[in-house]
Structure 1
Amino acid sequence: MIFSQNAEGKFIDILHTTDYDFLKTNPVLNANIIYLTLSGSHAYGTNNEYSDIDIRGIFLNTKKELLTMECSDKPFEHRESDTVIYPLKQIIKLLSNCNPNCIELLGTKDQHVLLCSPEGKLIRDNAHIFLSKYAINTFGGYATAQLRRLQNALARDNYPKSEKERHILGSIQNQMVTFKDRYKEIDNNINLYIPHVNDGDLNKKDKEILIDINVKGYPLRDLKGMYSEMNNVIRDYDKLNHRNSKKDDLHLNKHALHLVRLLIMGTEILQGKGIHTHREQDHSLLMDLRNGTYVLERNGVKDYSEVFNIVDKYEKEFNYAKKECALPDKPDYDAINDLVMEITRHILMK
């Protein structure tokens, strides 16, 4: 395994520690890894002394998988080191859908690319073929999910239940926008709703989110995965709704940071400016958001009004870019298929 000579030395040194031996000893990875890059706060330039090192990457499906048409489409995850490495089959689909967590991997700084084989370079150099108006829903959806988390967290314990349910419903619906990246689509979709309340309904305070779903012959694990994600939104809301510690405030500040970052990155992509993961020009703003500079305290209560004013500014810019976007409606599937075929030829010729 040959690491990039352009990468920052301190990160390469970390990869040589025993914590990352799995990269060399795991038979699924090792020589099959074609791309490794920093992710998270180090990639964005918003890290501090407490930030973990997140690594993401791509590994090739094996020759046997290709010839038997049984390619792995699940990522390799090493939770202890916060490393996720995607198989080629899966990453191509995620990139084609303009998944923000994956698209950003192709726009990291050269110094943050830790390993890049010829196949990895092909993907990185052709990042533009994956960009399309799909970014409107993906970046917009992810940003809205962050906004919902922030709003939910700030809801007070005496907030009306009906309002709480609307917040949770909005969060889950935005999470569902990304389900197609990970799960088989359900033909008739999943319908979440809060029943209409009549003025004379004595039980209107007890109205809660309901679900309509009708599936037949659907993968059980996919259904379980979707249910778990929806349940996590409710669980996270309940946790945040009772926050009272400094640690929780730091989490809220990170939500605000990522919300604005997603809007800025999404706007640039929609404007045809490409993928710029490291936010050098926005560094001061993003770090101020992370550090809570715009959060005021009035009578012992945290006031996020200025944060929401900043969000509103970048949301307007995103919406304008959305209207004026000249990107194609869909990614360049012909070019993507050509890219995959070229990489596949490399694998079969080894």
Structure 2
Amino acid sequence: MKENFKDILHRHSIYQVITGSTAYGLANDHSDVDQKAIVILPPTYLLQLSKEWETESYHNPDIEYHSLKKAMNLLNAQNPTMLETLFVKEEFVKKQTKYGELLRNNRHLFLSQNCYYSFYGYAKDQLMRIKNGLNKVTEKDQNEHVRYTLQRMLSQMDEKYPSLKNGTVIIKDVFSQQSQKQEADLSVSFDAIPLTELHGCISELAGTLKSYNKTSQQNKKPTDKLHKHAMHLVRLLLMGIELLEKGTLTVDRGVDRDYLLSIRNGDVRWDDFFELTEELFQQLENAKEKTLLPNATDDRKINDLYFEIMSNFYNI
């Protein structure tokens, strides 16, 4: 009988952990047990003309598989949910080969000041969803959210458009038009830049703005999960602050558990919640100014780690 792909992914995973509310210490009777795994497929699946496999998700149980390359790119981009996988307690590590252990032992290679942008961005997106659900989004909220979204994009474009390093693209202003759609003014300054790179950069920014306006015009109704989203928003900010201040992540939130659960249970008034998040966003900003983390990750060392794992795995 031919082995199905899920079994192949499971058999060739090098690192598999329990994540989500269970790993945070915030699970209840209704919580799912989420897992993530990192996979290196055998050569018969790697050396094919078809598009290289990256990610697959399954339910019952809930598990998300990533190729090693995809996982390491997400880690290098400071993706919060991927960073957590390397910092969960040992008891939540379900499988760890010598290659997975090598990745976990080098987890600090993936930490830099850029984690500020990812934690801030994920938290801000979550906050906007909550405010949308409560019909509390203001014009100022929307303008600030658009500005940050575009700035975050710009900060991540250097690799794709190298010539951006030779000039500046600045988000000068974000404002609402009479149609209630957001518009942005840019300041662009270059001595020379290939037209294709400039066009690509501006097109991506314009596409994001268009997508944001389309989404914001949709009718959003409150859901019964807003308090759960609020709990995870606060957790995310607390973890981001810790990462910038201490250079590590504590996934289990035992120290904050009672207060976080009170948010999920609806015991915290929304006005108090919004006041708290405003304070936490400011703490995150302050932590970024004082952090000892490097400005950026060392791509050479991360590439060397990837090569070491892959070459040893394939006996190259």
Instruction: Give TM class, smaller chain.
Output: 0.7 to 0.9
Matched, 1:325 2:299: no
Q: Deviations over 1:13-61 (max 9, x none)?
A: xxxxxxxxxx975365143211111121111111111011211110014
Change (3 A) 1:151 1:209: same
RMSD: 3.9
Aligned partners of 1:109 and 1:277 also within 8 Å: yes
Aligned partners of 2:247 and 2:292 also within 8 Å: no
Change (3 A) 1:281 1:76: same
- Match of residue 35 from structure 1: 15
Matched, 1:283 2:257: yes
- Calculate percent identity across the aligned residue pairs: 28
Q: Secondary structure at the match of 1:49?
A: coil
Change (3 A) 1:140 1:123: same
Q: Deviations over 1:228-250 (max 9, x none)?
A: 97589547x6223xx3xxxx2x4
Q: Secondary structure at the match of 1:319?
A: helix
- Name the amino acid aligned to 1:107: F
Aligned equivalents of 1:228 and 1:88: distance in 2? 33
- Match of residue 144 from structure 1: 124
- Match of residue 115 from structure 1: 95
Matched, 1:101 2:67: no
Trace 1:1-350 onto structure 2 (pairs within 5 A): 26=6, 28-63=8-43, 72=52, 74-79=54-59, 81-155=61-135, 163=138, 167-168=141-142, 170-171=144-145, 177=152, 204=178, 206-209=179-182, 230=212, 233-234=215-216, 238-240=219-221, 243=222, 248=223, 250-295=224-269, 304-349=270-315
Uncovered stretches (5+) of structure 2, i.e. residues with no partner = 186-194
Aligned partners of 1:194 and 1:208 also within 8 Å: no
Change (3 A) 1:121 1:196: closer
- Match of residue 14 from structure 1: none
Change (3 A) 1:215 1:253: farther
Change (3 A) 1:320 1:168: closer
Aligned partners of 1:73 and 1:89 also within 8 Å: no
Aligned partners of 1:61 and 1:72 also within 8 Å: no
Aligned partners of 1:55 and 1:82 also within 8 Å: yes
Change (3 A) 1:309 1:30: closer
- Name the amino acid aligned to 1:277: V
Aligned equivalents of 1:231 and 1:73: distance in 2? 32
Uncovered stretches (5+) of structure 1, i.e. residues with no partner = 1-22, 198-203, 296-303
Aligned equivalents of 2:91 and 2:214: distance in 1? 35
Does 53-62 or 321-330 show the bigger shift?
A: 53-62
Q: CA deviation at 1:270?
A: 0.6
Change (3 A) 1:346 1:82: same
Aligned partners of 1:58 and 1:88 also within 8 Å: yes
Could you tell me the TM-score, scaled by structure 1's length? 0.70
Change (3 A) 1:210 1:320: closer
- Match of residue 200 from structure 1: none
Q: Secondary structure at the match of 2:122?
A: helix
Alignment length (residue pairs): 294
Does 332-341 or 318-327 show the bigger shift?
A: 332-341
Aligned partners of 2:9 and 2:41 also within 8 Å: no
Q: CA deviation at 1:310?
A: 2.2
Q: Secondary structure at the match of 1:81?
A: coil
- Name the amino acid aligned to 1:285: Y
Aligned equivalents of 1:338 and 1:142: distance in 2? 29
- Match of residue 191 from structure 2: none
Q: Secondary structure at the match of 1:52?
A: coil
Q: CA deviation at 1:281?
A: 0.9
- Name the amino acid aligned to 1:349: N
Aligned equivalents of 2:38 and 2:95: distance in 1? 10
Q: Secondary structure at the match of 1:137?
A: helix
Q: CA deviation at 1:77?
A: 1.5
Q: Deviations over 1:158-197 (max 9, x none)?
A: x8xxx46x6456556656647999xx958999x9x97665
Aligned equivalents of 1:314 and 1:65: distance in 2? 45
Aligned equivalents of 1:231 and 1:54: distance in 2? 32
Aligned equivalents of 1:39 and 1:349: distance in 2? 31
Q: CA deviation at 1:288?
A: 0.9
- Match of residue 188 from structure 2: none
